[in-house]
Structure 1
Amino acid sequence: MNFRAVPALLGAGLLAACTAPDMTPELVTYRHYVALGDSFAAMGSRSAPTSGPLECFRSADNYPSLLLIDAPVAAGQDVTCSSAVTADIPGQAAALTPDTDLVTLSIGGNDIRFAEIAGCFRRAMSETLDCPALLDAPVNEQLDSVPARLDEVYGIIAEDSPDARVIATGYLPLVSAGECPELEAVPEEHRAWAVALTEQINDVVRAAAERHGAEFVLPAGASEHSACAEPVQRWTDITGEETDAYPMHPTPLGQRAMAEAVLGQIRK
């Protein structure tokens, strides 16, 4: 080997490294971000400050708020509402403008009586209740109507913000299959019904997003972080007493997990 050539080769390599084009994808900065949706987007930790009307309060550490801090957005607004159904989206859509180019959407769960389901399971922890028998028929009737309602929601977004990138977020499961110390008084087959129902509403939300050219996001491994997990691992909780969460809602850790999942999707 010609050792006299080594410095020249090294110099050429360094020069090439310095002059080679940067192949890192350019990070898009969005002009205007709007968060639409219900309590699974609105409600974070109980100890966090809240904003919005009393019936629509939203936590300062929910996933839209975290995205407003971490995501590449120039400006944005969180108009999520803790009790929202699809029929409430036209009111929230007042925040949309022709310049809105990023929208997150969490909606559909309350249309199938999420609050009633959650309340039933919470009561079933201390009294004998057959929540599937009480709620299966009305819930499935509502579930059948959700696709058309979501189509209307996407139509509103497309009309008000035709150039917006829309990311629909799925529902973090409250319970999972197998052992569940938090709900040991509730029969496993009843919990299996709730697990299947969460999967169904997420399938409906995902399908609607696909129909309208939107994207669907749910953090990987969500079923491993339900209220059946250890408190420090929970993304959702039943009582919220050990996680600073609102009962039957995402924990602060769950909101962070959703924010990270959405941020990862944004950066693709």
Structure 2
Amino acid sequence: MRSALASAPVVLASLGLAACGSAVPAPVDVSAPVQVARDYVALGDSYAALGGTSADTTGPDHCLRSSDNYPAGVLADARVTGRDATCQGAVTADLLRPRHTGSGTIPAQLDALTDSTELVTLSIGGNDIGFGDIAGCFLTAMLAGRESDCAAAWKESVAARMTGLPAQLDEVYRAIEERSGGARVIATGYLPLLAPGDRCTEVELLGDADRAWVVSLTDEVNRIAAEAAERHGAEIVLPEAAENHTGCAAPGDRWVDFLGSETGAFPMHPTPAGQAVMADAVLEKL
């Protein structure tokens, strides 16, 4: 955090000018650092944008940018000021170029960056590998009451997309560097929907192959995100013990949820509690 330090201590001396009986002012300590709020921009997809289903939203309606997502939690801290540019459904290209939707055009998220930006959070990559298709496949099976077979349907195409993700993330990091060369970048990992060994009513229709596949996907995309962050001098944050707070945890302990009906979350996304804990994890880095 940037600090303003006094160049020298201020010495106050009584010169006999105080009126009789009046107190001499106490010395002022100017050696303590002055906290200056960092100029912050949040970039990313629905894992950053979406909070509770009942929360107010800001920005373009399409983005569903929630007032209780983790960027909002970071912005609520006195050490930061700035803006949330996240948007549901975003892929890496949407950070770099305008995004055309049925309701209008959304500016490139990186347009929010300036040469004075000091802090950037980044949640991106899940949609580049087809998270929406994967989540939709699992959700359809759950709601239809039939056993899922999502790995067989999507594994090959997802693997191909995963191969291209490192280069896509590199392009994003280079663009951030060009616009905000002095910014500190904190990438946020994807909270896991399912952990190894999880068994609960919500996922009883997932076959063993699908269970193993969804766990491996989260691990792989988080590994790729961490390696990209390391290549570009950034950091990555994932709250500790996230595997104990999956969609199979008790509703009050879930950081993500499958259906969201018991937590007020969007299906297959972080809960308000999950967004709060991610905000705390980012702020701890500061």
TM-score bracket relative to the smaller structure: 0.7 to 0.9
Residues 210 and 30 (structure 1 numbering): CA distance in 2 closer, same or farther, change over 3 Å? farther
Q: TM-score, normalised by structure 2?
A: 0.82
Task: Decide which of 42, 45, 51 is 2:52's aligned counterpart.
Answer: 45
Whether the aligned pair in 2 keeps the contact of 1:178 and 1:188 (CA below 8 Å) is: no
Instruction: Kindly indicate whether residue 165 of structure 2 is the aligned counterpart of residue 158 of structure 1.
Output: no
Distance apart, 1:71 and its partner CA: 5.3
Whether the aligned pair in 1 keeps the contact of 2:148 and 2:205 (CA below 8 Å) is: no
Distance apart, 1:127 and its partner CA: 2.1
Residues 45 and 79 (structure 1 numbering): CA distance in 2 closer, same or farther, change over 3 Å? same
Instruction: Kindly indicate whether residue 156 of structure 2 is the aligned counterpart of residue 137 of structure 1.
Output: yes
Structure 2's unaligned 5+ residue stretches are 1-28, 97-107
Distance in 1 of aligned mates of 2:34 and 2:152: 50
SS of residue matched to 2:210: helix
Structure 1's unaligned 5+ residue stretches are 1-20
Distance in 1 of aligned mates of 2:34 and 2:198: 43
Q: Give CA-to-partner distance per residue, 1:108-150, whole Å, 9 cap, x none.
A: 0000010111111112222233111111100010000000000
Aligned length, in residue pairs: 245
Whether the aligned pair in 2 keeps the contact of 1:30 and 1:102 (CA below 8 Å) is: no
Consecutive aligned runs of 4 or more in structure 1 exceeding 6 Å deviation:
none
Aligned twin of 2:86 = 80
Higher share in helix: 1
Distance in 1 of aligned mates of 2:34 and 2:147: 54
Task: Decide which of 206, 219, 222 is 1:202's aligned counterpart.
Answer: 222
Aligned twin of 1:265 = 285
Aligned twin of 1:96 = 113
Residues 28 and 153 (structure 1 numbering): CA distance in 2 closer, same or farther, change over 3 Å? farther
Higher share in strand: 2
Q: TM-score, normalised by structure 1?
A: 0.87
Aligned twin of 1:5 = none
Whether the aligned pair in 2 keeps the contact of 1:43 and 1:59 (CA below 8 Å) is: yes
Cα-Cα RMSD = 1.9
Distance in 1 of aligned mates of 2:269 and 2:155: 21
Q: Give CA-to-partner distance per residue, 1:30-68, whole Å, 9 cap, x none.
A: 431000000000000011101121221200000000100
**Identical-residue share of aligned pairs (%):** 54
